[in-house]
Structure formats: structure tokens, C-alpha cells
Structure 1
């Protein structure tokens, strides 16, 4: 072989080795074998917090913490799309809230393609428990507050207050029931029966959902419902949760359901309320203030307002 040919060959071989070395270094920096193999590690549990009242887009306006279905769905979607995540742990500390929003979150948990474990810390009551009931496993702190399966609609009659303070509050309406629930008068018998029927319907629906999700009979679920609150230990005995324990036990249960053997990693997913939530909140409040009666009293944040049936 000629000298020049040997030099050219040496350059080519050396250059090839350098390229290979650079590729190995790049692969190492980008995550090792996962860069070359798209198969997930599957050794991670995604942890999603569900803390505060459940509702629609009030966070960022009045300052209170509101858990929206959109944010929970976003967090679940992030966990679903992460190839390293094998299971999900939802940490609940919530008194409940909107029946519709709670049911949306419940459906999102139920539709998750990855196993979902719920850990109830301090409180997992009413709408929060409804959402939790569809999880693959529920673990509650022994001293937590669980249950409160019931529905309430808050009303206030301030007619005497207005009268005593010389305030003449009234309305001009079209439709017999348009000012139903207004604070300047009490309900009529027909109105009371109408609203009680709505609350009873939501209550029966709540019981049916829990019975199906927890594999219980409707009669049994009804007997332990009635708005009662239980400790985590009591809830386990009543089959409302699967077990009692701390967050570590819940993480271990989630890892096991995800098929993870040995040690595992965790990743926190904390979706925050964005501009869209704030705008939705403002829009909702404006819409609720249009018209009188129930529509005029459907505002959040005061005890004197009529609210739609809320799972609290």
C-alpha cells in the first residue's frame, strides 16, 4: 500500500472513531439507551395533587384554590404521554365542590390508560371522594376525613334584615319562578319541593356512582351515605377505601400496580391555572349575574348566595 493511501485510510478510520465517540457521548447526555430505543423505562410514578375546592375556573380571581377538571385532565394527559411513567398517584386533600366538575374528574381518572391510585391525606370528602371512587386503589390516612356522600343547596332569607334596615328590595320578573331563591323572600311550598327534588336526584345519582365504582350495592351505599364523615380507618371497614396508610404506602401500591419491581422514581406534575381559567371565571361570574332569581344568586364566595346543588 502506498504511503499516501495509508494516510488517507488512517484519516478515515480516525474520523469514523471520532464520530462514533461523539455519538456515544451524545446518547449518554440524552438519556443513554432510551435515545436509541424508544421503549420507556417504565420505572416512574407520576404524582398529581388534587387540593382545594373542586369547581370551574375561579382560581386567580378571588384568590381561593380551585381544582378544575381541565387542570386535572392536563396533568393526567402529561402522565399518559410520558413513556417513563407506569402508574399515577393522585394526592387528594379536598372537601369537594361542584357535582359536575367532580364527575368530570372522576371520568378522567376512570379513563386513564395507566393504573391510578388515590391517596387521601387530610380530607377526601363528598365531590373529592366521588372523583376518587373510580381509582384502581384508594388508600387513606387513618385519621383522614372520608365520605360525606350527600348534596346540599345553601339558601338565605334576608327579608327581615332588609325590612329592619328600611331596604325595599324587589324584582320585576317574567316567569313565576324566576326570582326563586332570592334573598329578599322565603321560598314557597312549590319552590321548596322543586329544589328538594333536584337535590334528591343528585343525591341518588351520587350514591349510584359510588356503588358502581366501589362494587357495592345501592342499598348498602345508601346506608353509609347520608352525608356522614368517616375516619380513614372507618372508611376502610366500610369498604369506601381499600387500605389505610401514608403517602409512601400509596406510592408503593401505585408502583406495584404499574408493574414496577424494585426501586422506582417519582415525578411531580403540578398544572397551574392559566389565563384561560381566569377568563373563564370572569365570564362565568358575568353570565351568572345576568337575570334574576337563581341566575342572580349563583356567585361563589358568600354564604348569602344560592348555589346549585354542591357535593360538600
Structure 2
């Protein structure tokens, strides 16, 4: 007898197609859910990188510890070693009741006398506000000029034997292109309101009176620097003819003449002086967005301007 066709084959085929379609739909939904989770993770990662939730004082709940603030690189309003960020970090370090003491790790060739002075003033304010909390400076490779201006506010300055310390002086520098302009037949046209408005213009000949004015100004800043050093170091200084000449010394020599107190590291201060070997870094860090802005932003123009004329620097 010949096999008769299944009368329900159309219905079964339809059910099979619907079932397969349902499976595919569920699979697609699962992949959508996975993609949404991955997208959310990427967004969260980008937000963390951009905003970098790294704030000073994040260790409020940590038990007894040594608070560390790092001053690294040139001191200026446009660098990470700027007074606003450094002072915020110092304030958080002093305010935390669990910090046994504060140590500043310095590796700086100097920079702006204004920014250095603001940091020095804030250290003195915080030391008066928290008189029982010691403040030490540890010098790594270099603590010169503006870096040393900051360091003298400490109870103690510790160095390595090979550290570079000192450079108590002021510099203001620029370039002059008048000789080259004469050779090329180029004439400078500058119109000012005020006889000294074009002072230190690199395309104009030097004006002896203006040079004297600038020399007087940086001499006054130098005397301010000397006064800060004498106030901070006191009787520990062994004054000599070249102490304030702008020269530098290695760490071993710096200890002998009173620019530093001894040898040590952040670890030895935490362990042996503060008796709190756990070190917590309070330094504000540069986030991803700031790094991108500095690389592609107005820093290019600022650098070009600085190459022609610079404000006084403690370097």
C-alpha cells in the first residue's frame, strides 16, 4: 500500500519555522544585552579616564599613615607643579587626622617665584594650624631655585649625597634679533602708548634705562628669595660669599653648609621619624582630558611666546 502523505505536514513545517525564528530572536536579544553591557563598561572606562577621580585626601578612612605630596618638574601655573593643586594636596594631607606627618618629595629645577611663594606661604599657614604635625622635605635628584624656595618652609630638609641643591638666584631671559634684521634689511615697526610698553621686545635694540629697570626688579625678587631662605633655615645656614650667588651644591655639600639637614628618603622619614611606615600619596594627578588638552591646545602658542621672552624665574 502506498504511503499516504502526512496531512499535518504543512502545520508541522510552520511550527518548525516559528520555533527556529523564536530561537534566533532570543539569541539576538542575548547579544543585544551583551553589547549593551560592553558599551556601558566602555563608557564608564572613558569617564574614569577623562575625569580621573583622583582627589587628595581619599585616604580619610585609612589608619595611621605618612601623608606624601610630590612636587615634580617646573613650578608654574600651567604645570602639575602649580600652587593651586599643590596647596590643595597639602591641605588634605594636614587635615587628615590619621596622617602622622606630612612629607613633600621634591624633584624640581625651579620656576615661577609667584607660584613657589604661594606654596611656601601655604606651608607656613598649615604648620601654624597643625603645630603638632611635622613637615619634612625629601629631595630626590634636584631641588633648585624655586624648588628650594618651597623646601625652606619645612621642619627638616633631607637629601641624597648626590642630589643637586641650591641655585638661590633669579633669572630673566630672552633673545635679540636686531643684528640679523639689519643683515636681512628688515625694519621693526612698533607703535606703543607708554614709553616702556615695548620693554624687552626681541626685535628692538636694548634700551639701557629699561635694562636697569629690569635688573632692579629681579634684584628685589632675589632679596625676597634670600629673606625667605634665611627665615626658613635660620642659624643652620653657614653663610659664604657664594651662598646666594645662584650656584648649586651636591647633597653632601648642602648638608655641610646648612642648606639641608641630613640624608634620607620618604621611606626612612615614614618609618623612623613619623613611625608610620604606610605611605599615602595625596598628590593631585593630571587626568586624561588635561593631558590631551595640553598636547593639542593652547600650550603650543604659549611655548612659542616663551621662546621669545620669559618672565622672571627662580632657576
The TM-score normalised by the length of structure 1 is 0.71
How many Å apart are 1:270 and its aligned residue?
2.5
Whether 2:113 is the aligned partner of 1:110: answer no
Partner residue in 2 for 1:208: 227
Q: Shift in Å at residue 89 of structure 1?
A: 1.1
In structure 2, how many angstroms separate the alpha carbons of the residues matched to 1:219 and 1:44? 35
In structure 1, which of residues 85, 101, 111 is the aligned counterpart of residue 99 of structure 2?
85
Per the alignment, residue 312 of structure 2 pairs with 309
Match of 2:198 among 176, 179, 199: 179
CA deviation vs aligned residue, 1:208-259 (integer Å, no higher than 9, x gap): 110011014999276412001000110000101110233332333551xxxx
RMSD (Å) for aligned C-alpha atoms: 3.2
Report the counterpart of residue 265 of structure 1 in structure 2: 278
**Alignment deviations for residues 115-167 of structure 1 (CA, whole Å, 9 cap, x no partner):** 21100000000000010001111101110100000000002111122333343
Residues 191 and 67 of structure 1: CA distance in aligned 2, closer, same or farther (over 3 Å): same
TM-score of the pair, normalised by structure 2: 0.70
Structure 2 gap ranges (5+): 1-59
Instruction: Please state how far the C-alpha of 1:72 moved relative to its aligned partner.
Output: 0.6
The structure-2 alpha-carbon separation of the partners of 1:168 and 1:253, relative to structure 1 and needing over 3 Å to count, comes to: farther
Q: Would the aligned equivalents of 2:238 and 2:257 in 1 still touch at CA under 8 Å?
A: no
Q: What corresponds to 2:152 in structure 1?
A: 133
Q: Which has the larger radius of gyration?
A: 2
**Counterpart secondary structure, 1:251:** helix
- The structure-2 alpha-carbon separation of the partners of 1:165 and 1:178, relative to structure 1 and needing over 3 Å to count, comes to same
Runs of 4+ with >6 A deviation: 39-42, 274-280, 282-285
Contact 1:41 1:84 in 2 (8 A): yes
Report what 2:69 is aligned to: 48
Deviations 1:155-204 (A, max 9, x none): 21111223333433321111111111001123211111100000110111
Matched-pair contact (CA < 8 Å) for 2:237–2:258:
no
Aligned residues: 250
Q: Supply the distance in 2 between the matched residues of 1:176 and 1:218 (Cα, whole angstroms).
A: 43
Q: Could you report, residue by residue, the CA deviation over 1:279-302 in whole angstroms, capped at 9, with x for unpaired residues? A: 99x9998xxx9xxxxxxxxx5466
**Following superposition of structure 1 onto structure 2, how do residues 68-79 of structure 1 map, counting pairs within 5 Å?**
68-79=82-93
